[in-house]
Amino acid sequence: MDLKLTQSTVNKTKQHIQTAQQWDVIVIGAGVVGCAIVRQLTLNGLKVLLLERGADILSGASKANSAILHTGFDAVANSLELECMRAGYKEYIEIRHKLNLPLLKTGALLVAWNEQQLSQLPSIVSKAHENGSDDVKQIDLPDLIKREPNLSNNALGAVEISQEYVIDPWSAPLAYVTQAAKAGAQYQFNCEVTDGEFDGKLWCLETTIDKYKAKLVINCSGNNGDIVQSICETPKFAIKPRKGQFIVFDKSAYGLVNSIILPVPTATTKGVVITKTIFGNLLLGPTAEEQQDRYDTSVDANILQNLFACGVKMLPDLEHHGITATYAGLRPATQFKDYQIEANPSKNWVGVNGIRSTGLTSALGIAKYVEKLCLENFADIVPFNNLKDIYWPQMPNLAAHKPRAFEIGDGTEIICHCEHVTRGQLESALKSEIAAKSVGGIRRRTRVMMGRCNGFYCSAKVSELTKGAISPPQDSDGGKND
Amino acid sequence: MTDFDSDFNCDVAIIGSGPAGIGAATALAERGVKNITIFEREEHIGGIPRHTKHLTFGLVAFKRPMTGPAFIKKILARCKNVTIRTNISVIAIKQDSTFEVATAQGLQTVKAKHIILATGARESTRHARLVSGMRPRGIVSTAALQQFIYSFGARPFNQAVVVGTELVSFSAIWTLWRAKIKPVAMIERNHRITAYRPAVLLAKILRVPIYYNSQITNIESINTLKAVSIMSDSGVKQVLNCDGIIFSGKFVGENSLAVASHLLLNPQTDIPFIDENWQTSDSDVTVIGNAVHPADMGDQCYLEGLKLGSFLADKLAQNTVNSAEFIPIEHSSDIKMTTPNMVRLDNETSKTINICFHVSKIYWGLVTVKFAGKTVYKKRHRCMPARRITLKNIRLDPFDINDKTSIEICFS
């Protein structure tokens, strides 16, 4: 029965997109980077098609991160990553009001937990200043205690990064791709690119749904970056997925910290962070484990227990708060530290790869950089033409610190009691421009079933309310999880 | 803004319409208290029993077994002169017995003379238990399963593994069987089932194997849930194919309103402090039912509600304030929680109380209660998780109460 459903969905979407059509650009991968690039290019008047193997945007690496808008204070100097982060940060701040995207101005404190770490703080400050983060400064222990009275007394001192903020990791990319879709971009989900051929003028991509033609292909396929890249060329990099596991604490823990609590980074990882989430929870993570599998986002009980213990060591009160969720994300790391963004001028291809943990911050900056690459290499084949009337969609607010639907009153009752999601919100998410088509999609658009009870109260009701709109009923996202 | 001109203002506000809330409303109304309102966030009243269509209700309160919905109907018939408001979510409990509710038109602040929190309990989740594996669909609680099947006639999967062997876990395999979903297995951490032993018969009749001393080591999925891997304490591994997992039991109180409020919490259990009359640290707020003792039978919650209602009606009539000293009941982590978890004592009056508790580990042996260092109770008990253990008639004599006075429950 499921198979039939899938087939009918496929037929329907086939009619929707005329396959004889040809696009200026095909973007492969609807992660945060793909969404931002589709937006940037569409707003430049290009005809863009977005192909995604999952059932929704953000089905892979982008759905699981720490949701921090980084300043890049600790990024590698003169790196492309730093350039894109700074540009992405700046543009997010500029456009967020127009898209109704939230920003929780927490600031961050990078805390030293031993003498050796304490001795590293001055060099972290000077490196931050070299990176252009002039606001970064060291603070002493009394100041740290005043700001974060709940930290354990092992803390010795800290560096303040006042402009590191918390954002909504799901609504932001959804806003980018919604804006693009309103301006004419098209998209196809459940559509995995399997192969492709370039005839010197046009790319013809083979997918699990159909063949699609475009003048230019942009590969943003995250953890499948090298596989997709090999359609065009022998990749110069290999994706080495690095797993990060997280624990989300109940809303009662939200106020335990004021700032984002960062550790002193090591050579391999930025380390375990404690941060508020924009949704009013407290997040602990990530861990860092290298693995071969590109889809295995399983969590590990022992690692989670260690992570929990590590959290309690920094913030003893955590022990008194319930765990709402655990999850794991895979960072599309490569053997290189920096991003691997390159145009192949002879093959009309741009590879946007190795976007590790900073993609949420840098996405808009990466999109600008890709635009520049296109102008430099492909100006003759893809004509840029700034759109005059740009539509700015207003994203429904999910942030806890701003008025939400249930507080204002949208004329409907609350369905999900832990996250206070109204029936009206669910209905809008099913009707929106980029409508939720999977359980993961509706969860990310509304927060439904994301709370402490994990659907104890509302999952059956939500399933009933979304019947028919989410098909097939037992689907999951491309990341094989919801 | 005018102060508290809400249509919802009332004398006693009861939050939650499960057996405890209905019981409290009934007794209050029968004793002549006016302006009682029950606030229920769901569309229908009744709480968890609403979707439990098994004969696990009524035996204690009415001497005959009945289903959850029948039980609710029966107790509602006695509950008169009480306003019931559904689809109203209480969002926050504030000082001075005010609280905030969300309606379809937004938030408003409501004023009452007394607030009763009867918010019930829920099963603990896969995430809270820190289980390894993927996060596919098809991982639910027993309550969600029963709603899928009994409230919406849905069949969310074809073959399911049940984690836990509490009474509710057997309810889960029975629900599965009735919905023609194959109960693949039950998984139990201990060497015996948590429910009373005869429950094993149900598993035998339904041919559901129980894996003892075992726990889940992985949840496998490729697009959808495929299997769970389990391992026993002796290292034996098994892979059980399934497309559903029910994490049953391990109830926790749904105390998010109390936790976020000004009410003092017992630091050992993070459950609101309540005395022998369910009074919290704020004399205008009471917490009863499974919110404070997750989770006893619906009957017990109903009877508790009736008892509290009577007590509270007298208290409201006399307008008394809790002035006595507040002595916490302390215990090791082998005890999940106690009710009461504090006692109000003054220097003049003796008190005889019962203490109920649940354990987190099996313990058969001597249970001692010490009051200010003196043994006031000593008896053997068979303590099993998920069961109410009652220590009866503990006499606490007045004496010089000082800061260090405590009541302590010891296993020895």
Number of structural domains (chain B) is 3
Report the relative pairing of strands B159-163 and B182-187 from DSSP bridges.
Answer: parallel
| pLDDT per residue as tens digits for the range B17-62 | 999 999 999 999 999 999 999 999 999 999 999 988 889 999 999 9
Q: Find the CB nearest A460 among B133, B138, B152.
A: B152
Cα dist. B389→A132, B34, B275, B327, B385 in Å? 64, 35, 17, 21, 9
Residue A91 lies in a domain: no
Chain-chain contact of B107 with A452 (C-beta, under 8 angstroms): no
- Express as a percent the part of chain B with pLDDT over 70: 97
Q: Do A315 and A458 sit in the same domain of this protein?
A: no
| pLDDT per residue as tens digits for the range A334-355 | 999 999 999 999 999 999 999 9
Q: B60-84 burial, b for 16+ CB within 10 Å, e for fewer? A: ebeeeebbbbbbbebbbeebeebeb
Nearest chain A Cα distance for residue B28, angstroms: 28
- Give the Cα separation of A38 and A27 in Å (integer): 7
Q: Which two tokens stand for residue A462?
A: 């939500």
Q: Do B111 and B46 sit in the same domain of this protein?
A: yes
pLDDT category of residue A386 using cuts at 50, 70 and 90:
confident
Domain end, chosen from B322, B337, B364, is at B322
Q: Do A224 and A344 sit in the same domain of this protein?
A: yes
| pLDDT per residue as tens digits for the range B84-110 | 999 999 999 999 999 999 999 999 999
B115 touches chain A (CB under 8 A): no
Nearest chain A Cα distance for residue B3, angstroms: 18
- Give the Cα separation of B261 and B117 in Å (integer): 12
Q: Do B365 and B281 sit in the same domain of this protein?
A: no
B148 contact residues in A (CB cutoff 8 A): 459-460, 463
Chain-chain contact of B147 with A480 (C-beta, under 8 angstroms): no
The residue among B41, B86, B135 with the most chain A CBs within 10 A of its CB, best to mutate, is B135
- Of the candidates B255, B127, B217, the one whose C-alpha atom is nearest the C-alpha of residue A247 is B127
B125 touches chain A (CB under 8 A): yes
Q: A334-345 burial, b for 16+ CB within 10 Å, e for fewer? A: beeebbbbbbbe
- Residue A412: which domain range? 405-465
Determine the pLDDT at residue A479. 35
Chain-chain contact of B106 with A296 (C-beta, under 8 angstroms): no
Q: Do A39 and A185 sit in the same domain of this protein?
A: yes
- Give the Cα separation of B118 and B255 in Å (integer): 9
Containing H/E element for A424?
Answer: helix A423-431
Determine the pLDDT at residue B323. 72
Residue B6 lies in a domain: no
β-partners of residue A421 are A416
Three-class DSSP category at B283: coil
**CB-based contact B329:B342 (threshold 8 Å):** yes
- The number of beta carbons lying within 10 Å of the beta carbon of residue A17 is 16
| pLDDT per residue as tens digits for the range B139-183 | 999 999 999 999 889 999 999 999 999 999 999 999 999 999 999
The residue among B15, B155, B223, B268 with the most chain A CBs within 10 A of its CB, best to mutate, is B223
Q: Do B63 and B80 sit in the same domain of this protein?
A: yes
Nearest chain A Cα distance for residue B18, angstroms: 14
A409 contact residues in B (CB cutoff 8 A): 102-107
Q: Do A124 and A196 sit in the same domain of this protein?
A: no
**CB-based contact A263:A213 (threshold 8 Å):** no
Three-class DSSP category at A387: coil
Chain-chain contact of A411 with B221 (C-beta, under 8 angstroms): no
**CB-based contact A368:A80 (threshold 8 Å):** no
Nearest chain A Cα distance for residue B68, angstroms: 16
Residue B7 lies in a domain: no
Residue B118 lies in a domain: yes
Residue B4 lies in a domain: no
Q: Do B335 and B388 sit in the same domain of this protein?
A: yes
**CB-based contact B222:B250 (threshold 8 Å):** no
Nearest chain B Cα distance for residue A468, angstroms: 13
- Give the Cα separation of A75 and A478 in Å (integer): 30
**CB-based contact B21:B305 (threshold 8 Å):** yes
A300 contact residues in B (CB cutoff 8 A): 132
A453 contact residues in B (CB cutoff 8 A): 122, 125, 141, 254
Q: How many contacts, defined by CB atoms under 8 Å, are there between A and B? A: 144
- Of the candidates B336, B333, B365, the one whose C-alpha atom is nearest the C-alpha of residue B249 is B336
Nearest chain A Cα distance for residue B75, angstroms: 22
Q: Find the CB nearest B128 among A323, A327, A476.
A: A323
Chain-chain contact of A456 with B106 (C-beta, under 8 angstroms): no
Three-class DSSP category at A258: coil
Domain end, chosen from B249, B275, B299, is at B249
Chain-chain contact of B106 with A408 (C-beta, under 8 angstroms): yes
For B50, the closest chain A residue by CA position comes to A457
B127 touches chain A (CB under 8 A): yes
For A454, the closest chain B residue by CA position comes to B125
Q: Do B235 and B304 sit in the same domain of this protein?
A: no
Q: Do A214 and A117 sit in the same domain of this protein?
A: no
Q: Do A232 and A244 sit in the same domain of this protein?
A: no
- Give the Cα separation of B89 and B16 in Å (integer): 9
The domain spanning residue A221 has which CATH number? 3.50.50.60
Q: Do B241 and B151 sit in the same domain of this protein?
A: yes
Determine the pLDDT at residue A268. 67
ipTM for the predicted complex comes to 0.95
B159 touches chain A (CB under 8 A): no
Mean pLDDT score of chain A? 92
Q: Do A179 and A128 sit in the same domain of this protein?
A: no
- Give the Cα separation of A237 and A222 in Å (integer): 12
- Of the candidates B332, B323, B409, the one whose C-alpha atom is nearest the C-alpha of residue B371 is B409
Number of structural domains (chain A) is 3
- Those of residues 8-27 in B touching chain A at CB distance below 8 A are none
**CB-based contact B164:B271 (threshold 8 Å):** no
Q: Do B130 and B244 sit in the same domain of this protein?
A: yes
- Residue B38: which domain range? 12-122+252-322
Q: Do B265 and B346 sit in the same domain of this protein?
A: no
A280 contact residues in B (CB cutoff 8 A): none
Burial class (CB in 10 A: 0-12, 13-18, 19+), A77: exposed
- Those of residues 347-406 in B touching chain A at CB distance below 8 A are none
| pLDDT per residue as tens digits for the range A248-266 | 999 999 999 999 999 998 8
Mean pLDDT score of chain B? 94
Q: Find the CB nearest A304 among B104, B130, B141.
A: B130
B327: Cα separation from own chain's centroid: 23
B107 touches chain A (CB under 8 A): yes
Q: Do B154 and B237 sit in the same domain of this protein?
A: yes
B158 touches chain A (CB under 8 A): no
List, in order, residues 6 or more apart from A261 with CB less than 8 Å away.
A108, A109, A111, A148, A151, A273, A274, A275, A314, A315
A457 contact residues in B (CB cutoff 8 A): 42, 122, 143-144
The domain spanning residue B304 has which CATH number? 3.50.50.60
Determine the pLDDT at residue B405. 77
B87 contact residues in A (CB cutoff 8 A): 413-414
Q: Do B318 and B333 sit in the same domain of this protein?
A: no
pLDDT at B352 over 60: yes
Residue B1 lies in a domain: no
Q: Find the CB nearest B123 among A320, A456, A463.
A: A456
Determine the pLDDT at residue A114. 95
Domain end, chosen from B322, B348, B375, is at B322
Determine the pLDDT at residue B400. 65
β-partners of residue B228 are B219, B240
**What DSSP character marks residue B149?**
I
Containing H/E element for B335?
Answer: strand B335-339
Cα angle: B283, vertex B286, B288; to 5 degrees: 155
B270 touches chain A (CB under 8 A): yes
Q: Do A261 and A123 sit in the same domain of this protein?
A: yes
Instruction: Report how many helices (DSSP H) and strands (DSSP E) chain A contains, helices first.
Output: 13, 22
- Give the Cα separation of A72 and B64 in Å (integer): 68
Q: Find the CB nearest B134 among A251, A298, A308.
A: A298
Q: Do A31 and A174 sit in the same domain of this protein?
A: yes
A296 contact residues in B (CB cutoff 8 A): 134
pLDDT at A10 over 60: no
B104 touches chain A (CB under 8 A): yes
Residue A383 lies in a domain: no
pLDDT category of residue A17 using cuts at 50, 70 and 90:
low
| pLDDT per residue as tens digits for the range A412-453 | 999 999 999 999 999 999 999 999 988 889 999 999 999 999
- Give the Cα separation of A346 and B278 in Å (integer): 77
Q: Do A322 and A358 sit in the same domain of this protein?
A: no
The domain spanning residue A268 has which CATH number? 3.30.9.10
**CB-based contact A125:A289 (threshold 8 Å):** no
pLDDT at A136 over 90: yes
Q: Do A155 and A47 sit in the same domain of this protein?
A: no
- Provide DSSP, B49-69: GGG--SS-BSHHHHSS-B-HH
B104 contact residues in A (CB cutoff 8 A): 409-413
B135 contact residues in A (CB cutoff 8 A): 297, 299, 327, 481-482
* Size of chain A in residues: 482
Helix, strand, coil % over all residues of chain A, rounded to 5: 35, 20, 45
Q: Do A156 and A244 sit in the same domain of this protein?
A: yes
For A458, the closest chain B residue by CA position comes to B144
Q: Do B307 and B221 sit in the same domain of this protein?
A: no
Chain-chain contact of A456 with B141 (C-beta, under 8 angstroms): yes
- Give the Cα separation of A415 and B376 in Å (integer): 49
Determine the pLDDT at residue A141. 97
Handedness of CA A465, A466, A468, A473 (dihedral sign): negative
Q: Do B118 and B25 sit in the same domain of this protein?
A: yes
B105 contact residues in A (CB cutoff 8 A): 409, 411
Among A233-247, A261-275, B234-248, the range scoring the smallest mean pLDDT is A261-275
B87 touches chain A (CB under 8 A): yes
* Size of chain B in residues: 412
For B267, the closest chain A residue by CA position comes to A320
The domain spanning residue A422 has which CATH number? 1.10.10
Give the largest CA-CA distance in chain A.
67
Q: Dump strand ranges (E) for B201-241.
A: 210-211, 214-222, 224-232, 237-241
β-partners of residue B351 are B396
What single letter denotes the amino acid at residue A53? Answer: R
Q: A413-433 burial, b for 16+ CB within 10 Å, e for fewer? A: bbbbbbbbbbbbbbbbbbebe
Q: Which two tokens stand for residue B244?
A: 């559903």
Higher pLDDT: A303 or A3? It is A303
- The number of beta carbons lying within 10 Å of the beta carbon of residue A118 is 18
